[in-house]
Amino acid sequence: MGTSFNEQFDQHGTWRREFALRLKLLSEWLRDHELLDAAVEERLRRLETQMRSDKVMVAFVAEFSRGKSELINAIFFAGYKRRIMPASAGRTTMCPTELGYDADVPPCLRLLPIETRLQPQALMEWRGAPEKWTRVDLDVNDPAQLAQALEKVAEVRHVTKDEAKALGFWHDDVPEDNPMMRSDGLIEVPRWRHALINIAHPLLKQGLVILDTPGLNAIGAEPELTVNLIPQAHAVVFILAADTGVTKSDLAIWREHLVTEAGNTDARLVVLNKIDTMWDSLSTPAQVQAQIERQRATSAEILGLPQEQVIPVSAQKGLVAKVNDDAQLLQASQLPVLERALSLGVMGQRQKILRSAVAGGISELRVEAGRAINIRRRDLAEQTIELKGLRGKNISVIKHMRTRIEQEQTDFDVSGAKIHAVRSVHLKLLREVFNLLGTSTLKVEMTELTDALRQPGIKLGVRKAYGLTFDRLREGLRKAQRTSAEIHSMLGGTFRQLNAEYGFSLQAPKEPDLAGYERDLDLVERSHNQYLGVSNVLRLAQPEFADRLVRALATRLRVIYESALGEVELWNKSAAAQLDAQLRERRRNFGRRIEAIERIQQAATGLDDRIVEIQGHESALNQLDAKLTELTAHLTSIPGADAPVAEPVLQRA
């Protein structure tokens, strides 16, 4: 049957845990051998954070009643031997629901009241205010209590038309999208705006995040869901009903929220659910299969996808089969086919991306830590040459050598002012880069965009306002890149001069590449442009809605800019750490040279003893270097790290 999504995720989790343990051992070893300077420490911290915070988000998107929650139950929660997510007939998940795991939070369900939509804060800001959420504690060892508590995500309220309008669920201009009005004039809306489920499920503990979204009306009314969460998911599973195929509302969700402007649909997997409704005792199995294949081909054509990205499944029969250990029914449900697609696609691709990024970080770490060893090796070689030159010399020559070393030391101490001046110029230019990528610059841009969107009238020029904002943001990144190049050029010249004057081996670290962050900006702009279609023009006419959209944008941009700043800071630390290390080693070197001369002056055998001692230090350094290579190689050769990954069905957009 191949590796299931769950098994593949288990393997990924084992690899991450093993990596974290080996990284900790490397960190302790580096500290013990005085190889842990600021740059090396920062590399280690980044690798640890990258591994610890690595998340894989799979978003399940569908119109109401497509069996989405049942599919989540079948893939992820069948081990409980019952339904966990509510999955009865009709509307179940009424609000976007995230399932994940945070070890610092006890098992619970947190629910954000729908009324928070009347306030301007973005969803990310509400996450930082736990007191505003309704919390329900969960007993993960009691499946019945767990299932009962999670039924809360299906709760609704009945409000007046004006309240529904204020909350974003009613629009007079598009009546076909409005929910049903009861005979008493009240309208059904979700009770909750967002739900966070924190449970120690094995997959969630290893970094899986499941995003369960409600139907079209709820998706469109929550900009942060559409422009932030769904675009950042590593894969989107879009669910259709096998008996109806692609309906008008399904197509609206697909076109408005899931197809990017670039037309990249590799990270989209479509599930034709409820194929059991087509199992017909009056038709032969071959006829039923032919009917399913026709529906599959038609759906693929309408959505513009390769047919292999449309997978027919019966989530309900798959769940029943897993609960009852019925292998034959599980095979008929075709759930294992979907699990393989998720396993090879989502996990296969995610592991490749993470391992590639980690390998790059380890390589840089090896270079940074290796520099300190090379500095020590070079100083020992210089001492050996110096001491061998004293063989057979009389006392006055040795005394003169001591005077010369002391003069070198005095001259070197005076050079500190020059090195300080170099750092001052360097830091002045760096401040310019920090300013370009700082929160104040971002705040100014977001204020200007908000002002533009508040102009009276329907926002037909909204795309232009966004376009101008992103043009300025891109130009800011390019300016930061140009300034970085200027700093890099200056550093290279200064380092060459210091190398010539003081015999250093300084090497300007590779300048940060900010082009990748420009590509991130392009992706964010695309997701917003997609959202700014005709269907949302009326919503954008409401100032509070436009404000929410800009806040959602600011949340995502902040992450990009903080990452870019992190690159620049790491680059700066790498340059400064090199200089600090060489200054420190040179001062130690002066002390060792003077000590050696004193020993030679005191005893005739002191010279040869010192040369032998230095050779011993050189041998120890070679062993240290070999051990560093061995320990860093171990990080990339963890079992499973080089395991062949089948060609993925999915790739992250």
Look up the domain containing 404 and give its range. 392-628
Residue 278 has a pLDDT of: 85
Among 205-209, 381-385, 472-476, 542-546, which stretch is predicted with the lowest mean pLDDT?
542-546
Q: Does the residue 72 lie in any domain?
A: yes
The enclosing domain of 253 has a CATH number of 3.40.50.300
Q: How confident is the model at residue 536 (pLDDT cuts 50, 70, 90)?
A: low
Residue 605 has a pLDDT of: 59
Residue 306 half-sphere exposure toward CB, CA atoms < 13 A: 9
Q: When comparing pLDDT for 312 and 575, which is higher?
A: 312
pLDDT at 143 over 90: no
Q: How confident is the model at residue 646 (pLDDT cuts 50, 70, 90)?
A: very low
Residue 444 has a pLDDT of: 92
Q: Which of 373, 434, 419, 321 is nearest to 623 (CA)?
A: 373
Say if residue 244 is in the same domain as residue 109: yes
Residue 652 has a pLDDT of: 36
Say if residue 5 is in the same domain as residue 142: no
Measured CA angle at 438 (ends 509, 116), to 5 deg: 135
Cα first-last separation, the chain: 28
Alpha helices by DSSP H, 230-307: 230-232, 248-253, 285-303
Say if residue 483 is in the same domain as residue 512: yes
Say if residue 21 is in the same domain as residue 145: no
Among 74-78, 232-236, 536-540, 583-587, which stretch is predicted with the lowest mean pLDDT?
536-540
Say if residue 374 is in the same domain as residue 515: no
Please tell me the pTM assigned to this model. 0.71
Say if residue 261 is in the same domain as residue 355: no
Average pLDDT over residues 518-526: 87
Say if residue 224 is in the same domain as residue 366: no
Q: Does the residue 43 lie in any domain?
A: yes
Supply the mean pLDDT for the chain: 82
Residue 260 has a pLDDT of: 61
CA distance 630 to 643: 20
Q: Which of 76, 73, 62, 70 is nearest to 277 (CA)?
A: 70
AA letter at 332: A
Q: Which of 568, 558, 551 is nearest to 434 (CA)?
A: 568
Q: Does the residue 530 lie in any domain?
A: yes
Q: Does the residue 181 lie in any domain?
A: no
Which residue do the tokens 């939070």 mark? 105
Average pLDDT over residues 544-572: 86
Residue 316 has a pLDDT of: 92
Residue 265 has a pLDDT of: 61
* Overall number of domains in the chain: 3
Say if residue 263 is in the same domain as residue 400: no
pLDDT at 323 over 60: yes
CA distance 313 to 67: 10
* Helices (H) then strands (E): counts for the chain: 24, 11
Q: How confident is the model at residue 638 (pLDDT cuts 50, 70, 90)?
A: low
Among 226-240, 315-329, 381-395, 578-592, which stretch is predicted with the lowest mean pLDDT?
381-395
Q: What is the pLDDT of residues 167-209, one digit of tens each?
A: 878 777 767 767 788 888 899 888 999 999 998 887 788 788 8
Strand ranges for 38-191 from DSSP E:
56-62, 97-100, 108-113, 134-137, 156-159, 187-190
Say if residue 401 is in the same domain as residue 517: yes
Say if residue 67 is in the same domain as residue 88: yes
Say if residue 298 is in the same domain as residue 427: no
Q: Does the residue 175 lie in any domain?
A: no
Average pLDDT over residues 540-553: 77
Q: What is the pLDDT of residues 480-505, one digit of tens each?
A: 999 998 888 888 888 888 888 777 77
Beta bridge partners, 210, equal 58, 99
Q: What is the pLDDT of residues 568-611, one digit of tens each?
A: 888 888 888 887 877 777 788 888 788 777 777 666 556 777 78
pLDDT at 464 over 80: yes
Pairing of strands 108-113, 134-137: antiparallel
CA distance 235 to 56: 9
Chain centroid to Cα 202, Å, comes to 20
Q: Which of 391, 579, 569 is nearest to 484 (CA)?
A: 569
Among 13-27, 320-334, 585-599, which stretch is predicted with the lowest mean pLDDT?
585-599
Say if residue 81 is in the same domain as residue 218: yes
Q: Does the residue 185 lie in any domain?
A: no
Q: Does the residue 173 lie in any domain?
A: no
Q: When comparing pLDDT for 547 and 73, which is higher?
A: 73
Q: How confident is the model at residue 644 (pLDDT cuts 50, 70, 90)?
A: very low
Q: Does the residue 31 lie in any domain?
A: yes
Among 140-154, 174-188, 460-474, which stretch is predicted with the lowest mean pLDDT?
174-188
